[in-house]
Amino acid sequence: MTEMVFGAAPVRDGEPILPRWWRTIDRWSLACVFLLFGVGMLLGLAASPPLAARNELNPFYYVQRQAFFGGLALTTMLLVSMMSPQVVRRLGVLGCVGALAALALLPFFGTDFGKGAVRWFSLGFASVQPSEFLKPGLIVVSGWLMAASQEINGPPGKSLSLGLVLVVVGLLAIQPDFGQACLVLFGWGVMYFVAGAPFTLLIGMAAMVVVGGTMAYKTSEHFARRIDGFLSPEIDPRTQLGYATDAIREGGFFGVGVGEGHVKWSLPDAHTDFIIAVAAEEYGLILVLFIILLYMTITVRSLMRLIRERDPFIRLAGTGLACSFGVQAIINMGVAVRLLPAKGMTLPFVSYGGSSLIAGGITLGMLLAFSRTRPQGEIGDILLKRRR
C-alpha cells in the first residue's frame, strides 16, 4: 500500500544481487573513484622511487604496496556498496566503537614516527591510523542518532551525537591532530545543519573552534609552529611548503614532463601529503584540474542523489560522508598551495597510505550504498502531494 501511495518503482522479484547493484549504483561516481586510484598509481610511480632509494629499498616497493592496499580498498568499497543501509549502519556502529577504543589507547601504545604527533600503531610490517577508520563510523552513528531524534518520543540524538563528537575531538587533540578534529567537527556540523540545527548553535560552535584554536596555539608547540609558518609573509625554501610552492610554480599549465620533476627528491612527504605538488610539477595544471573535477563529480552527484532520499538516516549520514570526503580533498590541496596551514592530511585515493586507502574504500562504499536508487517515492513527490 505504501508503494502504491508514493509511486514506487517496480521491484524485480528474484533479481540477483549483482545485476540489482549495477542497476542502482551511481556508475559515474564509481568510475571517478577508479580514475582517482589510477591517477594515484601514476603519481606513485613518479613520487615513491626517490623515497625507496633513500631507504635502500626496491625502486617500486611503495608502488607495489600502494597497489596491494588500493586493490584491498577497492574490493572493500565494492562489497560495502552492495550492503543495505541497515547493514551499513551496523557496520558503522561496530567500526566507530572499535576505532574509538583504538584512539583512546594511542597515547599508551602509539608512535609518532618522528613527526611530532602520536597517530599510529606500528605493527612492524605496516602501521594503522585509527582516526582514518573512525571518521566514517562516527558519521554513520551521528546520522543514526540525529535521525532517531526526529521520531516521536525519540531519544535526544542530537545531544548524544554532540557529546560523542566532543569526546572524539578531545582524543584527537591529545595526539595532537587538529586537522582531523576540524574535519570531524565539519562533518558533524553539516549533518546537524541538514537536520535542522538552530543558527545560534552553529555560531556557538564556530566560536568554540576559535577559542579551541587559540588555546592550542598557546599550549602546543607543534600546532604553533605550523600556524606561524602559514602566517609568515615569506616561505622558507627549505621547508615542505617551500618545495611544494616552487614545484607548482615550475609546473605551469602543461608541466615539466613525465619523470622530469625535482620536488619528489626534496619532499619527504611527496608521496603522501604533498602528492598534488608532484602532479602539478610533472603534469601541470591540466592534471590538477582533472583531479579536482573527479572529486567534485563524486561529491556533487552523491549530494544530488541524497536530496531525493526519503529516509532521514540515509540522507544525513550520506551527506556527512560526501561533504567530509570532498572537504578532505580541499584541505590537502589547500595546504599545498598555502591557502591553509599544514594539516598532515592525505589526498583520498591518490596519496600513498594503507590506512588512508582502506578507510577511504569504506567511506566511499558507504556513500555509494546510501546513494543507490531504491524502490520508493522521492521526498519531493511527498511534499508535492501534501501541498495538493
Q: What is the pLDDT of residues 249-297, one digit of tens each?
A: 888 888 888 777 878 887 777 788 888 988 999 999 999 999 999 999 9
What is the pTM for the complete model shown?
0.87
Q: How confident is the model at residue 68 (pLDDT cuts 50, 70, 90)?
A: very high
Distance (Å, whole) CA 280 – CA 347: 14
Cell of 358: 582502506
User: Assign residue 349 a region: left if phi > 0, alpha if psi is -120 to 50, beta otherwise?
Assistant: left
Pick 71 or 339 by higher pLDDT.
Answer: 71
Give the percent of the chain with pLDDT over 70: 89
What pLDDT score was predicted for residue 358? 93
What pLDDT score was predicted for residue 271? 80
What pLDDT score was predicted for residue 110? 79
Q: How confident is the model at residue 3 (pLDDT cuts 50, 70, 90)?
A: very low
Q: How confident is the model at residue 114 (pLDDT cuts 50, 70, 90)?
A: low
pLDDT for 8 beyond 60: no
Domain ranges, ordered by start, for the chain: 17-379
Cell of 37: 586510484
Cell of 92: 558503522
Q: Percentage helix, strand, coil, to 5, in the chain?
A: 70, 0, 30
Q: String of b and e for 334-343 (b: at least 16 CB within 10 Å)? A: bbbebebbbb
What pLDDT score was predicted for residue 9? 46
What pLDDT score was predicted for residue 12? 57
Cell of 270: 611527496
What pLDDT score was predicted for residue 378? 53
CB 351 within 8 A of CB 342: no
Q: How confident is the model at residue 120 (pLDDT cuts 50, 70, 90)?
A: confident
- 128 DSSP assignment: E
Pick 14 or 315 by higher pLDDT.
Answer: 315
Largest CA distance in the chain: 72
Pick 342 or 99 by higher pLDDT.
Answer: 99
**Which of these, 212, 207, 154, 205, lies nearest to 178 by C-alpha position?**
212
pLDDT for 228 beyond 80: no
Distance (Å, whole) CA 89 – CA 313: 9
Pick 267 or 19 by higher pLDDT.
Answer: 19
What pLDDT score was predicted for residue 5? 41
Distance (Å, whole) CA 279 – CA 6: 48
pLDDT for 11 beyond 80: no
Q: List all residues 6 or more positions away from 200 whose beta carbon is below 8 Å from its beta carbon.
A: none
User: Assign residue 323 a region: left if phi > 0, alpha if psi is -120 to 50, beta otherwise?
Assistant: alpha
Distance (Å, whole) CA 353 – CA 361: 12
What pLDDT score was predicted for residue 36? 95
- 111 DSSP assignment: B
What pLDDT score was predicted for residue 305? 94
How far, in Å, are 84, 96, 108, 192, 265 from residue 90 at the CA level? 10, 10, 29, 21, 45
